[in-house]
């Protein structure tokens, strides 16, 4: 079984919980089939940065590794169409460790279908 996306609604707020992120995000419905991220600045911890990499003294490449960092969300949208939910998020990587990339913009797109 793969990852799951759970949507719940209370009053005018829609909550999306994607099992891979282990976090919930708040959305406000904009139409009957779409919603926008509430209050940019919500965040997702995870492996959003790359650490290390470069070249050895002998000239061999060193592959970077995933680093623990936080994605501060600047925008997001949920859309429902024909038994499929599309989740789009964009944000800036912060809190990356030493020798890790930080400050770049990351876009995430996820689609989940119900059979």
Q: Could you report the per-residue pLDDT of 43-102, keeping only the tens digit for each?
A: 988 888 888 777 888 888 888 887 888 899 999 999 999 889 999 999 999 887 777 888
Phi, psi of 23 (to 5 degrees): -135, 160
Phi, psi of 59 (to 5 degrees): 90, 10
* pTM, rounded to two decimals: 0.79
Q: Could you report the per-residue pLDDT of 1-31, keeping only the tens digit for each?
A: 577 888 888 888 888 888 877 788 999 999 9
- Residue 109 CA to residue 5 CA, distance in Å, equals 13
């Amino acid at each position: 079984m793969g990852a799951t996306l759970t949507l719940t609604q209370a009053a005018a707020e829609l909550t999306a919980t994607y099992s891979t992120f282990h976090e919930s995000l708040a959305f406000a419905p904009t139409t009957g089939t779409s919603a926008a991220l509430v209050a940019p600045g919500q965040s997702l911890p995870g492996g959003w940065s790359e650490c290390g990499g470069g070249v050895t003294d002998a000239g061999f490449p060193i592959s970077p590794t995933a680093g623990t960092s936080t994605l501060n969300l600047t925008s997001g949208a949920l859309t429902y169409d024909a038994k499929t939910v599309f989740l789009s998020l964009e944000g800036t990587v912060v809190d990356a460790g030493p020798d890790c990339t930080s400050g770049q913009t990351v876009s995430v797109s996820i689609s989940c279908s119900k059979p």
